[in-house]
Structure 1
Amino acid sequence: MGLTGKRALVTGSSAGLGRAIAEMLAAEGASVIVHGRDPDRTHTVAERIRADGGDATAVLGDLTSAADSTSVAEAAGEVDILVNNAGCYDGLSWRELTDDRWSQIYQVNVVSGVRMIGHLVPGMRTRGWGRVIQIGGGLAIQPAATAPHYSATLAARHNLTVSLARELAGTGVTANIVAPGAILTDPARELTLKAAEEAGWGPDWDDVERAASNSWFPNDIGRFGRPEEIAAAVTFLASERAAYISGADIRVDGGTVRAIS
């Protein structure tokens, strides 16, 4: 993939999708900065990558803080690949949401990423090579009734990424979106098993997964995605082989979103 010698920062990479992305980028030869807020989890991921022969360092910080964002960027140094993965989801409904919660999730899911773009993309532009990859989601264009604030932040991520791609035209820096569907992270598995017990979906995981897929997010593959499948899409977009792709929305959702665009 041509990533040997490249330096990558993956925000929110102490667990879940971010961890899978950091591990795969490192396996392809990139030097990875693992970011998180929990010291134990963040350092554990970096240590695991090093144990597997990769190059990784850990950096801590709350990206909703301007001061912490600056510290993370300074610790990261000259970054060639920025993966804005950090974010949150709470599942609140319209009736449960407050004005403050709308503002808070926007700070976490949108402004934090914009801060990192502001810190790191100018250096990419100067060096004439870079990749910005935003983790979005199908709810950006096909929202559900629940969690409207979360869907709105995904839409903002998608929109600003295309704007950034236009801004970076001709610089050697690209900006793209990877939009996951429902992914089998540890919390998703726990939630699914709890729902399976209540719904009587059966003890076999294959049956449970198929039933959950059909009930919650119908898709053409009939299962959850795996973190490694998202990581593979990110790794490709980060690579030399994706130099002709910018402003794109790469959906990795099993066909959940049914659109031609």
Structure 2
Amino acid sequence: MDLHLNDKRALVTGSSSGLGAKIAERLAAEGAAVVVHGRDEARAAAVAGAITDAGGRADAVTGDLGADAGADAVAGAALAGGPVDILVNNAGAFDVTATWQGTTADDWAALYNTNVISAVRAIHRLVPAMRERGWGRVIQISSVTGRLPQATQPHYAATNAARGNLAASLSRELRGTGVTSNAVAAGGILTPANREMLTRWGREQGMGETWEEIEPRLVAAHGPNDVGRVGRRAEYADLVAFLASPLSGYITGANLSVDGGWRDA
């Protein structure tokens, strides 16, 4: 399917590794010019270089979206190559070991700044021009924990509920402008780093020795879903690419679950 992205330019925040890198690669494969963002210059440049080596168009920018000065730098560098038509707010943080007792009010504020306000900074700097041009796509990468919070990571779950709410509110603000706003609520994401960490943890828990043995047991115990496995990065990136395209013009204000049918038990 041709997603008609050849004349579009996209900024994917937090795309120097993991899911963000796969989203950037997918958009570039569909013809979009991609701006790879991270806080580590070498890692962002490596992802952008791999995209260009594969025949795509990519630039790398670095900066901390957790502060206004960093957001100014990121937006300025992204816009130096041309107008940004697509903003994918993927940058975020989590800590699977966090608990109610172990997180302070300052921890909550810091994570909210990273996972929510950083996205707002990018929106403030890039979306007004989309509105003026009469076309744009804004996509928040969120988590299923926003609607299915657990006792652990309470601050993370709260930020994901905010991300979905942010996307819906922004769609109301942008109604009739040609700019859409949506969120993708992800279930488990099998990044290379996650696979290594979860395999090691699964062995410690007696779930098996190989990832193939551990995965179904891990999912059943800690993230039960109807597919019975963890989501692959490409499965998320494919949906994001569609939402970023002109073909998705009738989808806005949505918080789309991509979680294998994740359930409470």
Shorter-chain TM-score bucket reads: over 0.9
Measured after TM superposition, the shift of residue 185 of structure 1 is 1.0
Is the Cα contact below 8 Å between 1:130 and 1:173 reproduced in 2? yes
The answer as to 2:91 corresponding to 1:86 is yes
What TM-score does the superposition give when structure 2 sets the normalisation length?
Answer: 0.95
Structure 1 segments unaligned to the other structure (5+ residues):
none
Provide the rounded CA distance (Å) in 2 between the counterparts of 1:121 and 1:257.
Answer: 35
Q: Do the aligned residues in 2 keep the contact of 1:132 with 1:174 (CA within 8 Å)?
A: yes
Aligned to 2:201: 195
Give the C-alpha shift of residue 201 in structure 1.
2.2
Which 4+ stretches in 1 moved above 3 angstroms?
none
State the number of aligned residues.
258
The TM-score, its normalising length taken from structure 1, stands at 0.97
Distance 1:90 1:48 in 2: 29
Q: Distance in 1 between matches of 2:148 and 2:104?
A: 23
Kindly provide the CA deviation profile for residues 184-243 of structure 1, in whole angstroms up to 9, marking residues without a partner as x. Answer: 112321222122212322234322111111111001111110111110110010011100
CA distance in 1, matches of 2:160, 2:209: 34
Q: Percent sequence identity over matched residues? A: 54
Q: CA-atom RMSD, angstroms? A: 1.0
Tell me: CA distance 1:246–1:205, structure 2 relative to 1, closer, same or farther (3 Å).
same
2:25 counterpart residue number: 23
Partner of 1:63: 65
Question: Which of 162, 171, 176 is the aligned partner of 2:168?
Answer: 162
The one of 119, 127, 130 aligned to 1:121? 127
Instruction: Report the Cα distance in structure 1 between the residues aligned to 2:229 and 2:248, rounded to whole angstroms.
Output: 28
With 23-32 and 98-107 compared, the bigger mean Cα shift is at 98-107
**Per-residue deviation, 1:37:** 0.3
Aligned to 1:73: 75
State the Cα distance separating 1:98 from its structure 2 match. 1.0
CA distance in 2 between counterparts of 1:118 and 1:202 reads: 47
Deviation at 1:133, TM superposition (A): 0.2
**In 1, Cα distance between the equivalents of 2:260 and 2:184?**
13
| Counterparts of 2:117 and 2:17, CA distance in 1 | 21
Whether 1:137 and 2:167 are equivalent positions in the alignment is: no
Structure 2 residue ranges without an equivalent (≥5): none
Aligned partners of 2:202 and 2:208 also within 8 Å: yes
How far did 1:257 drift? 4.3
